[in-house]
Every structure is written in C-alpha cells, then in structure tokens.
Structure 1
Amino acid sequence: MAFLMHGTNTFAPCVNGTRIPAAAPVARRCPVAARAAAAAPGTVNEESLGFKTMRRGIKEAASESILTPRFYTTNFEAMEDMFSLERNPDLPMEEFDAMLSEFKTDYNQTHFVRNNTFKKAAENIQGPNRKIFIEFLERSCTAEFSGFLLYKELGRRLKKTNPVVAEIFTMMSRDEARHAGFLNKAMSDFGLALDLGFLTKNRKYTFFEPKFIFYATYLSEKIGYWRYISIYRHLQRNPDNQLYPLFEYFENWCQDENRHGDFFTALLKSQPQFLDDWKAKLWSRFFCLSVYVTMYLNDHQRSSFYESLGLDTTQFNRHVIIETNKTTARIFPQVPDCEAPIFWERMENLINCNKKLAAIGASEAPAWLKNLQRLPVFERFAKNLLLVFLGPQLDIGSVDFVPEGDAALAF
C-alpha cells in the first residue's frame, strides 16, 4: 500500500482485536527483524535516540494512535458474496483477466535489490535526522505490511468464489511483502528493525466494511503513487538531497501503488451501488477528507523529515493532495474542492490547533490543568474539521478512468 499512508487512518469508528488467521505463516517471506543487524559501530545507539527495544536490534513498535498506520480486517463473507461468479455473472471479468496478466508480469521482480551504498549512507545520517529516518522507515514498513496482511487474506478467502480476483489480491500481497521487507531491511541499516511476525500476532486490527475498504484503500494506493513520484522527481532534480539510496527506487515502486489503485478502481466499477447514490457521495467525500487531513497533520508533525530532503512540507502536501483529488474525481461520485482557498485556510487552522495541543502536552503543567487547557483547542479543532467536511465539493465522478502511468505531472 501507500508510502506512509497505507492503512491510512480515518476518523471512523472501529472494532479492534480481530486477527487474520492466514497471515502469520506468510510473514516469513519478508526479511524479518530477527535477522537484522545491530547498530553499526560508531553510530548513536537506539537508547540515546529514545527508542524502546524488545531485544537487541529489534525495535518495539510505536504506540498506536489516530495518526499511525493500522492493520485492517473486513467482512470476508460479504466479499465472497460480492465477487462470487455464480451469484454475480455480470462482473467485468475481461477487465480483471487483463489486470491479472499485468500483475503476473511482475515488472518489479528484480527491482528491489540492495547494494553496498545503503549501510554507508545510513552511517552518515546522524543527529536528529537519524531518528526521523528511523521513524519514517517504521511507519512505511508498518503501512506496507498492513496491506500485505489484508490482501493475502482476501486472496485466500476469494479463491473459490472468484479465482481471478483472488489471484490479483495474492499478487498485490506479494508486492506489499516485498515493499515491507525492503523497508525493514533498510531499518536494520540504522541498527533497528521490526519483528513483523510478532506484529502479525499481537497488533490490534481495525474493522472496516467492504465498501469502506474500497474507498480507503483506493485512496491510500493513489496518494501513495503521488507521494512516491513527487519525492523521486524532486530528488532527481536535487541529487545533493538524496541522503539515502531508498529514494532511488521510488519511480518503479510507485508503479506498484498505481496498479493497485487501478485494480481498486475496477472493483469499485464492478459495484455501482458504491458510486451512484447520495450515500456514496457522502462516504466518498468523508474518506477523501479523512485521508487528506490525516496526511496533512501527520506530515506537519514531522516536517523535519521533508526538510532534510529539501522539500517544503506544506507545498509538498498540497501538491500531493490536489493531484490525488484530481485522480480520485475520475471514479468517486463526489470529492472536496481542494483548490478552493477556504479549504487550505481551514486545513491550516487544524495544523495550528494540533500545534497548540502538542505544546500543552509537552508543558510541565499538572494533568488536570492540561486537560482544562485542551478543551477550547479541541472545540476549535472539531469546528474546523466540520467546516472542512461541509466546505466546497465537486460532483464529478465517472466509471471511466485513465491509468496514471507516465502521464503524471512532475512536482
């Protein structure tokens, strides 16, 4: 799924605690953290950076919050019914067959091959940048691994009712496992890694109904495409900011995200009830805004990472959101008008509220006073969040779409 955003959290209710039964054995396909190297000699260790470890070289996963990537599950029985060839003979199988052929080609089969520049580059990243790189790699790895688990289980569960759609999900889980493993190995360059098998068994899972999975995952994959390609093209123009060789892989990598998003476009087209009424408009706009707001808040909390790459966080975020919104408007029945000035004014209000909440949390005031100080800020945050949702919107969806591919505009 999407870089930093896969498993993008929304402000929707969730049901936690469900586990996906088939995921644990497959996790061995990723370079699991147990094989990761310990911190390189001469570099700062994980304790000095403030990270907690489960054992030597194995990082304790970051605490879950509304802005951290989650693991997802869904109503698999409903998915089986939805894509059953016996019950739904009008499914666009020719399109799915063509997509399966595309996934079987596996364009990136030999792309994710490391070289000897990785460890040396990691050793050269010290001070505050080292910590933010580790945090970036962890969030990215967790997000990609989340996609692997969900897609793997969908591939298993749909095998009998629709073998073609099931195999596409399995091919996508292959891509996500490859991404997660590559990122986890990158973490080991910095002396830490995640135990992905442990996460599979012990992390809580968020439940989404199938249609919500479609909306959220489509957005996650497409926004991931725009993030990858924008960072890649920026660094190609500014090679002095290429601090770590991972980013050189982003051009091909983002095409995986794009293919995944196109598959979810086809899934949505096969289920017109998710696109053709007022409820579809409401949910489409809701998920767009949930993903955009989460990304905007998340990235501005970690603006030092983007600054280390020579990016302006606000400019980068606005570009990615606007381009993702244009892509999404080809299939969703309604999207927010992200180019309206009032939209960005309210998004900035959310950033300011978030900064105030962070400042209150970091103060030395007693807990009761902090809670009292937070109340008016929470009120302003909720008001602006509602205003963002009620703001200008575009009724523009279509079931016809053009794959992004190389037509994507440079950032």
Structure 2
Amino acid sequence: MTQYFDDLEARNPEERAEAISRALPAQIAAAQALPGYGETLREIDAAAITTIADLAQLPVLRKSDLGRAQGNAAPFGGLTTRPAHGFSHIFQSPGPIYEPGGTDHDWWRMGRFLHACGIGKGDIVQNCFGYHLTPAGMIFENGARAVGAAVLPAGTGQTELQARAAHDVGVTAYAGTPDYLKVILDKADELGLPLKITRAAVGGGALFPSLRSEYGERGIACLQCYATADLGNIAYESPAQEGMIVDEGVIVEIVTPGTGNPVAPGEVGEVVVTTLNPDYPLIRFATGDLSAVMEGESPCGRTNTRIKGWMGRADQTTKIKGMFVRPEQVAALVAGHAGIARARVIASREGEADVMTVKIETDAENGDAFADAVAETLKLKGRIEVVAKGSLPNDGKVIEDQRTYE
C-alpha cells in the first residue's frame, strides 16, 4: 500500500477542486496588492477566479517580465510579499534573475518528491546540485530536511572526493543531475570503493531510459522531478513511472506556446504554472517548457493531474548539463567579440553525458581564442568549432538541440 507524504496526494477531484476554489482567489488578491504586477491584474475580480479554467482570463507572466520588473525594483521586482531581508536566502540565476528562498518546512515542496523516491529518516543524501548562487542545492536540501534525511552537501565537481565521501560517509541516496551520478559511480569503481546508494532523485536534465536502466542494473531506483528556480517543484515521478504527478502546491496549465490559451486535453503545449506559495505568488508563470496532460490517474494512487514530463522547449532556450543556455546569451557572445560573425550552440550527447559545441563563424584559425568568452557568456565550458563565414544555416536558429529523448 502506498505511503503518502500527506493526505493531499490522495484527495478525490471534488476535494481538490474545492481547495483550489478557496486558494486561488486569495493568491490572486495577494498578487494584486504587489507593486510588481502593476496594472496587469488590477481589473481582475479575484473572487471570480475559482477554477483552473478561470485562470485563462489572466495574462501570462514570463521570465523576461521578471527581468524587467527586477530592473525597476531590485531584487525581486516587487513580486514578493516579504522584503528581501525577510527571506532565508537570495539566489541569482543566469540573466541575472534573482529568486527568494525559505527554510520553512518544505518551502520548495521538494519533500513530496523525495518521499516518493523512498528517501526519509535513516538516509544520507549526497546532494550534488550546486550551492553557489543558484538555488538547486538548497531546494533539495530543504526537501531532505522535510523527510528527515541527513545531507552531504557535495555540490558539483571534485569527482574523486565525491566518490570517497560517498563511501566513507555511507551515503544511501543521490540528488543531482541524471548523468553525474554515473560519473561518481564509475569513479568509485575505478578506486575500488563500494557504495551504498540505492535511490536517486534527479532533475535539471533529461533522464534517458538507457541511463535509468543502467542505474537499475546497479541496484539504484532512479526517479526524476520537474522543478525550476522560480517555482520549486512542479511535478514528479512516483515508483509507477507513468508520467509526472503535479505537485499539490501548484496549478499547471498547458497552453499554446506564446499565448495564454489552453490547448485541448492531451495536446502538447507550453507549461504555465500558478504557485500557491504565499511568499512569492507567481500567477500564470510561463516556463518555456513543453509538455502534455495525461489521461487518468497514476497507478500509485496519487490522484492529481499527470503530465508527460519535459518534452522540449517552446523557444530555443536549452538546458545543457543542468544549466539553461538562452538565445540572448548567444547574441551577447557575438556582440561582445569583434572576431565572431555568427555563432550557433549545438547540444548533443556522448554516452550518457551532455556535450555543448559552439560553432563560430570567424576568420580566425583557432577556436581557443574564444574559449574564455564562451565560458563567461554562456556560463558553461564547451567545444569550439571554427567554421567559414556564411556556412551556418540561415534558419533563424542560434541553439540547436540534437539530443533525442526516446
């Protein structure tokens, strides 16, 4: 029998709809009172927005809107109900975009996912998400605290030390990007260090079936979640591994990309999320990610809506090695270096790892001269391939994702 994180996961549709009818008007009213929303919500009757369908009346909030708002009212753009000093943490993501963070019980709602992974009291989680400026490390640490697990705050890099720590400490669970666990496991094998990891909670990149299968052969049950720095956990896998179950603290819509218009059930569209977090009431926040609603309920007994998981980007923004690379960053690379005529970022896979290749149209013969500019502007190191001027396709793309997700 399924042991739920809380009773909310097994509510019947009527109970959940009733809860939403109470929560939505209050959340929208709270957002209306914030200066960051300006006039966008002023004419809305918050009391009349009581269903998910009613949300279609409201405008969509995009990442670019956050950037503009924060430029006018740092650091959070007047979109939080607490002042900056009222939060436990302040994070910076590429853009830069600033996000608040709390240490209240399960503030990011990641405990629900870790519980579904079977992680709890008695576990030691090796948290390999980044702790520097960006919030992923603290998001998962907060979730581990919610389920009573201890944390080894490993962050990224230093693989040999990571493998030794996992062995010495007796780590039982991993949290991080899908492919980095394999790097640690292979290094531990190389060093002759037996590990006790039996569960993995991953995010920040695609979990390919071949990689999940390899972990399974090593005795590691690996599940993935869908989360963002702004929203926290949005949806997560259960052991049933049939789609992703929408978290109880958010409302998810699937809309036609670039609009706020809901698509027909089952159609692929852009994921738009309204969070019920009273500290940071994001209303109809467009993630830029593509997904679709699945019919029915999960065999695990959790009753909330399921989505098919991450199915690509509604724009060219692409996640590589757990970090977003955006078209505006590629434009900045070209604008900031006189020797670059045009550039194109290629995301591919080698084995089970992401690879970023940056093709640069230039008269230069050696791409090494651009390595520092690429790393600084794109926030990732990658291969640099020099190509002749005029040779890149004239198709409007500056980021091309060649990875497949089957």
State the TM-score, normalized to the length of structure 2.
0.30
The answer to which structure, 1 or 2, has the higher relative contact order (CA under 8 A, 6+ apart) is 1
TM-score, structure 1 normalization: 0.29
Q: Which structure carries more helix by proportion?
A: 1
